[in-house]
């Protein structure tokens, strides 16, 4: 489906103690089904705010957001979120955490055995079939984040929203999870919007990179098509001139154009 997710003239204004603060303005973006989009920009540029608008956790002050031709009003399981700090419930096992989501989405019309199957399948998809009955405090940070991804995917969302999902992990774990995410997206055909501040991550994973200007009143500065063929291999990309060219473009946006703007502001 073309223009699966449509954002038109979205604007976000927060009422703070210091007065009205315009976080985002004039946001126009369309996302195709099965596309992988990353939002990149400096801290405070409103990329998480934009993602929260799509998630429905914040409501846009102005403008329209449509998903599959329906207006986004409030949060819902068809827009699953992988939170930065995993947000697993510590009193439930990995299985319990994923099952809570599965039960909510499919509980109305599927048998208990089927719900259990779905939960197990989601955990196996992220390679955690063996840790199913552990509690979050018994597993590593990378594993927790994988449970978070399993929970989101198990809902079979229309869009998977990821807010700096690997930001808190060490570089090696992060690389492993990026590879795994690429595999999962290939297998499931998921539509993904991911917030990141990591240039390499953006180029490696994305079909398009949405680069945002600095706030306040942040907006979309440039959109970069990543034409690298899939499946992508991080080792092969290291010698790929296209990869370096794309990477250079993102760096140029972030460290030349946006830095200058920051000084002017």
Return d(Cα 53, Cα 60) in angstroms, integer.
6
**Contact between 83 and another protein per CB under 8 A:** yes
Which of the residues 244 through 263 are near another protein (CB under 8 A)? none
**Contact between 144 and another protein per CB under 8 A:** no
**Contact between 115 and another protein per CB under 8 A:** no
CB of 126 or CB of 211, closer to another protein: 126
Pairing of strands 19-31, 70-71: unpaired
CB of 18 or CB of 137, closer to another protein: 137
CB of 92 or CB of 175, closer to another protein: 92
CB of 88 or CB of 203, closer to another protein: 88
* The CA-based dihedral angle spanning residues 23, 45, 147, 32, taken in that order and rounded to the nearest 10 degrees: 80
**Contact between 68 and another protein per CB under 8 A:** no
Choice from 8, 21, 35, 75 touching another protein (CB under 8 A): 75
CB proximity list for 145: less than 8 A, separation 6 or greater: 82, 86, 165, 166, 168, 169, 177
The 3 state secondary structure assigned to 106-125 is HCCCCCHHHHHHHHHHHHHH
**Contact between 91 and another protein per CB under 8 A:** yes
CB of 101 or CB of 149, closer to another protein: 101
**Contact between 134 and another protein per CB under 8 A:** no
- Termini Cα distance of the chain: 40
Buried b (16+ CB within 10 A) or exposed e, 121-139: ebbebbebeebbeebbeeb
Shortest CB 168 distance to another protein, Å:
13
Evaluate whether 163 touches 81 at the Cβ level (below 8 Å): yes
Choice from 24, 27, 101, 162 touching another protein (CB under 8 A): 101
Return d(Cα 98, Cα 168) in angstroms, integer.
21
The window from 64-72, 100-108, 110-118, 235-243 that contacts another protein (CB under 8 A) reads 100-108
Evaluate whether 182 touches 34 at the Cβ level (below 8 Å): no
**Contact between 14 and another protein per CB under 8 A:** no
Residue 8 CB neighbours (<10 A) = 14
CB of 91 or CB of 264, closer to another protein: 91
**Contact between 55 and another protein per CB under 8 A:** yes
Residue ranges binding another protein (CB under 8 A): 55-57, 74-77, 79-81, 83, 85, 87, 89-92, 100-101, 104, 135, 137, 155
């Amino acid at each position: 489906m073309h223009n699966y997710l449509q954002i038109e003239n979205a604007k976000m204004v927060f009422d703070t103690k210091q007065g009205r603060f315009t976080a985002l303005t004039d946001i126009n973006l369309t996302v195709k089904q099965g596309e992988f989009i990353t939002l990149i920009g400096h801290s405070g540029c409103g990329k998480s705010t934009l993602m929260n608008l799509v998630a429905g956790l914040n409501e846009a002050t102005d403008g329209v957001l449509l998903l599959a031709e329906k207006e986004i009003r409030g949060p819902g399981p068809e827009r699953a979120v992988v939170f930065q700090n995993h947000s697993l419930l510590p009193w439930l096992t990995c299985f319990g955490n994923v099952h809570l989501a599965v039960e909510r989405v499919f509980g109305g019309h599927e048998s208990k055995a089927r719900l259990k199957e779905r939960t197990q399948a989601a955990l196996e998809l992220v390679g955690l079939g063996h840790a199913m009955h552990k509690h979050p405090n018994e597993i590593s940070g990378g594993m927790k984040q994988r449970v978070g991804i399993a929970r989101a995917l198990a809902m079979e969302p229309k869009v998977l929203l990821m807010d700096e999902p690997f930001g808190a992990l060490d570089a090696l774990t992060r690389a492993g999870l990026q590879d795994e995410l690429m595999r999962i997206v290939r297998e499931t055909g998921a539509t993904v919007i991911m917030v990141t501040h990591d240039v390499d991550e953006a180029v490696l994973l994305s079909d398009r990179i949405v680069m945002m200007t600095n706030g306040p009143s942040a907006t979309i500065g440039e959109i970069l098509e990543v034409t690298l063929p899939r499946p992508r291999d991080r080792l092969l990309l290291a010698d790929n001139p296209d990869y370096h060219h794309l990477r250079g473009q993102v760096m140029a946006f972030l460290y030349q154009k946006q830095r200058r703007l920051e000084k002017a502001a």
